[in-house]
Amino acid sequence: MNKSASITTGGTFRFGLLLLAMPLLLWLFLLVILPHVDLFLVSMRERISYGKYEFSLINYIEFFAEPLYWNTYVRTAVMSIFATALTLIIGFPVSYYIAKVMRGKGKNVLFLMCLIPFWVSELVRTFGWMILLRESGVISNFLQWAGLADGPVEMLYNDAAIMVGLVYTSMLFMVVPLVSVLDSLDDSLIEAGYDLGGNTFTVTRDIVIPHAMPGIASGCIVVFMLTLGNYLTPNLLGGKDSLWFTEQIYTQFITRFNWESGSAFGFLLLILSSVIVWVGLKLSKQTLSETVG
Amino acid sequence: MADQFDLECRNVVKTFDDFTAVNDISLAIPKGSFFSILGPSGCGKTTLLRMLAGFQAPTSGDILIKGSSVLGVPPNRRPVNMVFQHLALFPMMNVAENVAYGLKRRGIDKQTIAKKVNETLARVGLPDAGPKQVNQLSGGQKQRIAIARCLVLDPAVLLLDEPLGALDLKLREHMKVELKQLQHEIGTTFVYITHDQSEALVMSDQVAVMNAGRFEQVGAPQDLYYNPKTAFVAGFVGESNRWTGTIGSGDDNKVEVILPTGGKVLAKRDAHMPLVEGQNVEIFVRPEAIAIDGASGAENTISAKVENVLFNGAASSLQVRDVATGQEMTVALPQTGAYASVRAGDEITLGWTVENTRCFAANQSGAGA
Amino acid sequence: MSKKHGALRGSLLSLTALAGMVSLVSAAQAEELRLLTWGGYAPDEVVEMFEKETGIDVEVTLSNNEDMISKLRATGGGGFDLAQPSQDRIAGAQLEYGIYKPIDLGKIDNDKFIPSMLDATKSNTTVDGEVYGVPHVWGTSGLIVDTSKAAAVKDYTDLCAPEVAGKVSYRLKRPTLIGFAYAMGMDPFAAYGDEAKYQEILDAVEAKLIECKANVKTYWEGGDALLNLVRSGEVVAAMAWDTGGWKLNNDNADITFVAPKSGALGWIDTFALPRKTKNEDAAYKWINFVMQPEIAAKITASAGNFTASKGADEFADDKLKAQFQGSFPPADLDNIKWYPTVPAGLEVLEGKTLDRVKAAQSN
């Protein structure tokens, strides 16, 4: 039994490896590659009449010809980049505080506090924001009570509300990689930076940020992807002017029954996110393997 | 007077909650000297060093650099630089950038920086290392770059926090000599902390032995070795045979100490140390102070049986047992050839003088080395 | 090698056995009816009664018109045994995707239906001579108005009045386009067959909706979200379903459903059989069961809308009847515009109009 189980030939070894990798390969093929191929094929056809389709680029042409789609596409990308930057700007000091300033129990408590909002679903979190920001909501009432506002204040249904929701939703995904990368920064490097004449700004710029770069890059990639692909938050908090590209895709698929252009939009979103992540990695001089690995 | 000292501490105290890490330390380090603080881990030496660098503020007392107080001056404004225990070279920069870091912070122009960096790299013997990455350097090279990074700033005092700890033995021995030479050449005041007595003794002009937040004794290495003032120093600096016993009879110069095994040893009576009959004491005798074959003039003589010969080149020794009392002791075995024939089981006569037998009251705290 | 193959075969065998057991278990379970419907159309009480009478388990999935078509389209008409799309959305979807199966009218108790409604639905859902839908619940969409604050709102276009600026809401969906078109004096249903004419109407409505956008607080998506907006007073007038207005009326007498001057839009939700229905018999049983007047009245109580069941009015709640009569004086009742079948292609035009409205800057 032992003899036959031990790996004796290359052939057996390879077969065993294949068997081990099977779940991963199946997962990749059935759930990632196959749907994308199908999506691509659907995006490349045009509906001629009931149940009749032909190969065509019309869905892509339509995207470029219709300013609405374009605008939404660019707006989504710009807002996502902005939300990612904002998340980084807020998340970095928070992470630094958790990783380097706090000690012992307080550290875990703070970290847990970042995690708590994620115990409820995104929908509930977004509704929470709606309760706070709406005209008859908590903040509006507080401002009136405090005499800072004369009448009800509507803070919902605008880009700022979308931003707040997106940053809040993404914060954890920025803080986790940042905390782990900052944790790995030897305190004595920071002290050496000060000792040799650096101030807070230069030490952060020359030592902390270069060290944290892989964490920053991976946090930004995750947050950017999440933001770009977010549907609920822009939709609920943005109201009548939300204009998020995923909404377009949803509309095409679900309310227009236009799977062809929905697929094309989906593909364009995939291209957009890939290009922006690629550019971001180039600019920050990081590689994907470094960042993810 | 004050400007003769590069660094002075006056009654420095540092407490953390109810724990006193540094307890009323005063010191004055003359210009250009190599000063070591030697003590076991947890004795407070790192806290003291961090206060000198400015990372921690003393609870009370004053720290003066070149005669002026630096209390409230942040680390980046103090004319001291520190070589960290794990060196803390910046991995995100190459060697030249590491060395240039401090100069850049001072806003010096690029040409001057490049010139100074090259000079300093040459001074530490690594003139071509500039473009290298930190992880391409060997342990000893990293050491030198860490020192160069500080020296390029011409600090009044260079603080070194056990920088040799991470090196292997051979390299450590080599670096000791190199550091000593470097300090001698450049003339900067070094404050070096370590738990390794050999590092402190080899390199330093002055050594402060620190224990439980206090300086036990400050002095030249020879002084500490031959005239320890406390049982702790006697035990911590150098090798010693250490026995406990009680005071018997004695006169102004010497006392008789009765060991629990029944043996009697004559020890020196220090003028400043009052000893009364019946008091518990610790006595210290260095292995090399014990002469084999009972040299003349030795007040203490015993005959002992060799249990083990521990051959270690110049540091060889014998483990012996007193035939009469069964007391164990270690005796240095000089490699002069005279004792080459000593074997385990041999019976030998040992003798040592009162002068070389130190006696301290036993209630003093004492950690052995 | 052979041992490995043996192990693989062994695990495959056990997997097959497991799969077999799973299917056995499901076969051993009671018969099941998978119902794709709207909220309130299959109240627990009715489901329990049905299960007790027939022994068939009912698995209810809540949905809406677009979602129903999308779900059935994705599976080619599988996954459900009975669906309840609106009558105007059947023929087009059937032509396009073939997701439904003709209804065998012989298996249905025709005399339980209000005849005029049954006939209208049959004709609207006929494709190639086959009937695909029978009526179930009907209702209207119009205006929900807080009469204490926005009594001036009598028609869809009044939502754009400056008096209610920032306090109105409607959906960005096709009923809004149709409603505004009527309120603007046009007849979109008459233009269904004429794409160019219809586009003209859409263009006019689009301009109006863009102009009106600044007035809108938000475009509502879910019914509950809208009810909350009205209940909190953030919205005082909205375009919505009649039942929502009546529900709010129960809590606050000022708020009620108002049939717009230009006419409420009438819809009928039907029963339709998905093409790959697995339990057709149970589907017919369910239809016949819920069309009994007493049962239909229970559904009316739960959904808030009346059904096509003959004689169910007798069992309906008096308050609801009163609310209905309050919202629909006889003249308004006659003025209800019933949705005709949507011709294919129109929804693409409407979609683009809605896109442009959504994209327009509101201020």
What tens digit of pLDDT does each residue of C144-159 get?
999 999 889 999 999 9
d(CA A144, CA A151): 7
Q: What is the pTM of this model?
A: 0.80
Query: Does B42 map to a domain?
Result: yes
Longest pairwise C-alpha distance within chain C: 85
Q: Which residue of A has its CA nearest to B89?
A: A189
Nearest one of B50, B42, B52 to B21, comparing CA atoms: B42
Instruction: Give me the pLDDT at residue A10, please.
Output: 55
pLDDT, one tens digit per residue, over A212-228 is 999 999 999 999 999 99
From chain A, the residues in CB contact with C3 under 8 A are 4-5
Question: Can you tell me the mean pLDDT for C299-321?
Answer: 86
Instruction: Give me the pLDDT at residue A5, please.
Output: 45
From chain A, the residues in CB contact with B84 under 8 A are 188, 191-192
From chain A, the residues in CB contact with B85 under 8 A are 188
Query: Does A26 map to a domain?
Result: no
Instruction: Give me the pLDDT at residue C131, please.
Output: 94
Chain B interface test: which of A196, A205, A290 (most B C-beta within 10 Å):
A196
Same domain, B219 and B338: no
Cβ pair C146, C237 in contact under 8 A: yes
User: Which of A189, A198, A210 is nearest residue B76 as measured by Cβ atoms?
Assistant: A198
Same domain, B21 and B51: yes
Q: Which of B183, B203, B232 is at the close of a domain? A: B232
DSSP type of residue C30: P
Same domain, B55 and B158: yes
Q: Which of B232, B264, B296 is at the close of a domain? A: B232
Yes or no, beta carbons of B76 and A196 under 8 Å apart: yes
B11 — pLDDT class (breaks 50, 70, 90): very high
B289: domain CATH number?
Answer: 2.40.50.100
A163: domain CATH number?
Answer: 1.10.3720.10
Query: Does residue A88 register a pLDDT over 90?
Result: yes
Query: Does B367 map to a domain?
Result: no
Instruction: Give me the pLDDT at residue A9, please.
Output: 53
Query: Does B277 map to a domain?
Result: yes
Strand pairing partners for C288?
A: none
Same domain, B151 and B258: no
B163 touches chain A (CB under 8 A): no
Same domain, B13 and B79: yes
C362 touches chain A (CB under 8 A): yes
Same domain, B148 and B269: no
B43: domain CATH number?
Answer: 3.40.50.300
Query: Does B67 map to a domain?
Result: yes
Question: Can you tell me the mean pLDDT for B146-169?
Answer: 89
- Name the least confident of A269-273, B67-71, B236-240, C19-23: C19-23
Yes or no, beta carbons of C96 and A257 under 8 Å apart: yes
Instruction: Give me the pLDDT at residue B363, please.
Output: 63
Token look-up 């006056």 returns B10
- Name the least confident of A40-44, A288-292, B224-228, B267-271: A288-292
Query: Does B369 map to a domain?
Result: no
Instruction: Give me the pLDDT at residue B2, please.
Output: 46
Residues 233 to 262 of C: which have CB under 8 A from any A CB?
A: 233-234
The domains found in chain C, sorted by start residue, are 29-132+267-327 (3.40.190.10), 140-264+340-359 (3.40.190.10)
The three-state secondary structure class of B154 is coil
Query: Does residue C4 register a pLDDT over 50?
Result: no
The number of folded domains in chain A is 1
Instruction: Give me the pLDDT at residue A3, please.
Output: 45
From chain B, the residues in CB contact with A204 under 8 A are none
Cβ pair B73, B148 in contact under 8 A: no
pLDDT, one tens digit per residue, over C179-222 is 999 999 999 999 988 889 999 999 999 999 999 998 999 888 87
φ, ψ (nearest 5 deg) of residue C81: -105, -20
Same domain, B199 and B264: no
Would you give the end-to-end CA distance of chain C in angstroms? 74
Query: Does residue A11 register a pLDDT over 70?
Result: no
C286 — pLDDT class (breaks 50, 70, 90): very high
Yes or no, beta carbons of C361 and A241 under 8 Å apart: yes
Yes or no, beta carbons of A194 and B84 under 8 Å apart: no
Same domain, B264 and B222: no
Domain hosting residue A133, numbered range:
62-292
DSSP B42-99: TSSHHHHHHHHHTSS--SEEEEEETTEE-TT--GGGSSEEEEBTTB---TTSBHHHHH
C355's tokens = 């896109």
Query: Does residue B369 register a pLDDT over 50?
Result: no
Instruction: Give me the pLDDT at residue C47, please.
Output: 94
Query: Does residue C308 register a pLDDT over 80?
Result: yes
Same domain, B167 and B108: yes
Same domain, B281 and B227: no
Query: Does A48 map to a domain?
Result: no
Yes or no, beta carbons of A240 and C362 under 8 Å apart: yes
Instruction: Give me the pLDDT at residue C107, please.
Output: 92
**What is the average pLDDT score of chain C?**
86
Yes or no, beta carbons of C173 and A239 under 8 Å apart: no
Yes or no, beta carbons of C361 and A256 under 8 Å apart: no
Query: Does B328 map to a domain?
Result: yes
The number of folded domains in chain B is 2
A257 — pLDDT class (breaks 50, 70, 90): confident
- Name the least confident of B266-275, B317-326, C14-23: C14-23
The three-state secondary structure class of C167 is coil
Q: Which of B180, B202, B232 is at the close of a domain? A: B232
Query: Does residue B119 register a pLDDT over 70?
Result: yes
Same domain, B209 and B348: no
Query: Does residue A239 register a pLDDT over 50?
Result: yes
Query: Does A34 map to a domain?
Result: no
Question: Can you tell me the mean pLDDT for C102-106?
Answer: 93
Domain hosting residue B248, numbered range:
240-361
Query: Does A101 map to a domain?
Result: yes
Yes or no, beta carbons of A68 and C98 under 8 Å apart: no
Query: Does A3 map to a domain?
Result: no
Query: Does B368 map to a domain?
Result: no
Residues 169 to 208 of A: which have CB under 8 A from any B CB?
A: 186, 188-189, 191-199, 202, 206-207
Same domain, B83 and B196: yes
Question: Can you tell me the mean pLDDT for C222-249?
Answer: 89
Token look-up 């292997």 returns B168
From chain A, the residues in CB contact with C166 under 8 A are 154
**Higher pLDDT among residues A140 and B368, named by residue:** A140
Query: Does residue C18 register a pLDDT over 70?
Result: no
d(CA A174, CA A167): 10
Mention every residue, 6+ apart, whose C-beta is less than 8 A from residue A26. none
DSSP chain A: -HHHHS--SHHHHHHHHHHHHHHHHHIIIIIIIHHHHHHHHHHTEEEEETTEEEE--HHHHHHHH-HHHHHHHHHHHHHHHHHHHHHHHHHHHHHHIIIII--THHHHHHHHHHHGGGGS-HHHHHHHHHHHHSTTSHHHHHHHHTTS-SS----SSSHHHHHHHHHHHHHHHHHHHHHHHHHTS-HHHHHHHHHTT--HHHHIIIIIHHHHHHHHHHHHHHHHHHHHT--HHHHHHHGGG---HHHHHHIIIIIS--HHHHHHHHHHHHHHHHHHHHHHHHHTT--HHHHH-
**Higher pLDDT among residues A62 and C8, named by residue:** A62
Question: Can you tell me the mean pLDDT for A52-77?
Answer: 86
Question: For the CA atoms of B37, B40, B42, B44, what is the dihedral angle to 10 degrees?
Answer: -20
Query: Does A131 map to a domain?
Result: yes
Neighbours of chain A (3+ CB pairs under 8 A): B, C
pLDDT, one tens digit per residue, over A105-146 is 888 888 888 888 888 888 888 888 888 888 888 888 888 888
Instruction: Give me the pLDDT at residue C53, please.
Output: 92
Yes or no, beta carbons of B74 and A194 under 8 Å apart: yes
Query: Does A16 map to a domain?
Result: no
Query: Does A118 map to a domain?
Result: yes
Instruction: Give me the pLDDT at residue C2, please.
Output: 38
Instruction: Give me the pLDDT at residue A111, please.
Output: 85
Yes or no, beta carbons of A206 and B91 under 8 Å apart: no
Neighbours of chain C (3+ CB pairs under 8 A): A
Query: Does residue A189 register a pLDDT over 60?
Result: yes
pLDDT, one tens digit per residue, over C322-361 is 888 888 888 888 888 888 888 877 888 898 898 888 888 7
Yes or no, beta carbons of B85 and A188 under 8 Å apart: yes
Residue percentage of chain B with pLDDT more than 70: 96
Mention every residue, 6+ apart, whose C-beta is less than 8 A from residue A201. none
pLDDT, one tens digit per residue, over C29-84 is 568 999 999 988 999 999 999 999 999 999 999 988 888 988 998 888 999 999 99
